[in-house]
Amino acid sequence: MIMKRSGRWGVRVGLLLGVVLLSGCDFLFSPGEFKPHVYLNWKSEDTATTMQVHYHTQGAFVESAVYYDTESRGGDASLYRFKATGTRYTWPGTERAVHHVELKDLVPGQPYYFITGDATSGFTPERKFKTLNPDSPRLRIANGGDMGTGELYGKITEIAASYSPDVALLGGDIAYEDGNPQRTRLWDQWLDVWTSKMVTPEGFTVPMILAIGNHETNLLKSFSERKIKAPFYYSLFDQNSDERSFFVRKLTRDSTLFVLDTAHLYAPFGKQREWLVDAMEKNKSVRTKLAMYHAGIYPSHRSYYNPHNMLGRLSWLKIFDHFKLSMALEHHDHTMKRTKYLRDGKVVAAGEGTLYLGDGAWGKRGRDIHRDSWYLDRAEEFTHFWLLDLEDSQIAAQAIDEKGQVFDTHAMPRISASAWKQIRIPRFVNDSREVRQQIEQNQELRPYLELLKGE
């Protein structure tokens, strides 16, 4: 991504901007349809004692600041007991600054009231959020992807918020700007709906965790300069201290989320695969493991033998099975799907394998499906989102459409905490070299080796 920033990074981006402009490409950002756009996510894997606040300003400002408290202060900055400052990115060609402020040392499960801004740029109206509680008997998740900015996206978002989710897991293809900095208006439209409608009946702004999809990236072959290839994904959400588009988030004391990149910025079989093995190893004692990514391993619209889907299975399936992944959240196909329980490429009994839910369509109309695939339990052509309740004995899943109707339910059993303690997962035997060789020998998969550049 190209944006103003001090230090060596800013010089490097400035040089890259010059190269891009000399090549005839206009990589300046359009001004968009400015609004303050206050929204939430996390920069740390700790979701219980941190929260990251984002907001936008146009024109002059003094600092990137959030004022917050455990009680409402009515928007009067002088009354809030706590203040945090952060960083900001200014989009080239505009006066738009995107501010990122991480709040730390928060209390788990505690409501916080906050405002953003300063006396020069102005303060935003008071909002409130709640940190995740690692010991809560239930964690409620709204999940989906492939959203866009149309009427359906607004309807689904409003319905999802009405269920009071604790967190939204978004699986890529968000605003469909295709990594084009001239399409700022699409993100302004998407954020306008999100910030106004993704507020619970209790008044809480719902934080989000985002995976990257193909429509967050452009066609520039700049895999070593990922902030240019996915300018909005990085500048709007700042989910990592480095450029990685894969990371871990702790959801509760005994559940962890692994967010992955299905060959949009990083190869699934390169540095990311090494990281995934290490992250799974560090979390192998965690009872419930969820993975979220864009392009599915078990598709419901595209062919099972689509190269992108084959790449995911080859890169990750052995790891998922070895470390007993509980559930995978897939997207990209614009359908609703729920697989059977799967392990080692076979159907197994409930609780003995991974359940794969998908496939996007939080705002996009459904596509044709292939119901006769051996791994599918149910598939439909419905616009929807998934509502997931992580409880002690199960994960209750509901697929809900744009009319608010529940058209699929499923209860995935969770192994008891005592039984889980008796399970010993051996160390994973690293087979990355063999995976790389298989990709090199496959004519359809070989082009993905290009992703390794810059790793």
430-445 residue pLDDT tens:
888 899 999 999 999 9
Question: Which pTM does this prediction carry?
Answer: 0.92
Task: Flag whether pLDDT at 279 surpasses 50.
Answer: yes
**In 3D, which of 321, 335, 253 has the Cα closest to residue 291?**
321
Convert the pLDDT of each residue in 17-63 to its tens digit.
Answer: 433 433 334 457 887 778 899 999 999 999 999 999 999 999 999 99
For residues 217 and 223, give the distance between their C-alpha atoms in angstroms, rounded to a whole number.
Answer: 10
Q: What is the pLDDT of residue 224?
A: 66
C-beta separation of 323 from 289 below 8 A: yes
Where does the pLDDT of residue 154 fall: very low under 50, low under 70, confident under 90, or very high at 90 and above?
A: very high
Average pLDDT, the chain: 90
Average pLDDT over residues 406-411: 96
What pLDDT score does 58 carry? Answer: 92
Instruction: Answer yes or no: is pLDDT of 209 > 60.
Output: yes
Alpha carbons 217 and 178: distance in angstroms, whole number: 5
Residue 196, C-beta contacts closer than 8 angstroms, at least 6 positions apart: none
Does 200 score more than 90 pLDDT? yes
Q: At what angle do helices 307-322 and 432-441 cross, to 10 degrees?
A: 160
Instruction: Please determine, for residue 271, whether its predicted confidence score (pLDDT) is greater than 90.
Output: yes
CA dihedral of residues 145, 146, 147, 153 (deg, nearest 10)? -80
Contact 114, 66 (CB under 8 A): yes
List the beta bridge partners of residue 115: 67
Go through the domains of the chain in sequence order and give each one's CATH number: 1-30 (no CATH), 132-421 (3.60.21.10)
Give strand pairing partners of 380.
Answer: 336
Residue 423 and residue 421: Cα distance in Å, rounded?
A: 6
Q: State the pLDDT at residue 431.
A: 87
Residue 65 or residue 7, greater confidence: 65
Q: Are 367 and 301 in contact, with CB atoms under 8 Å apart? A: yes
DSSP 207: P
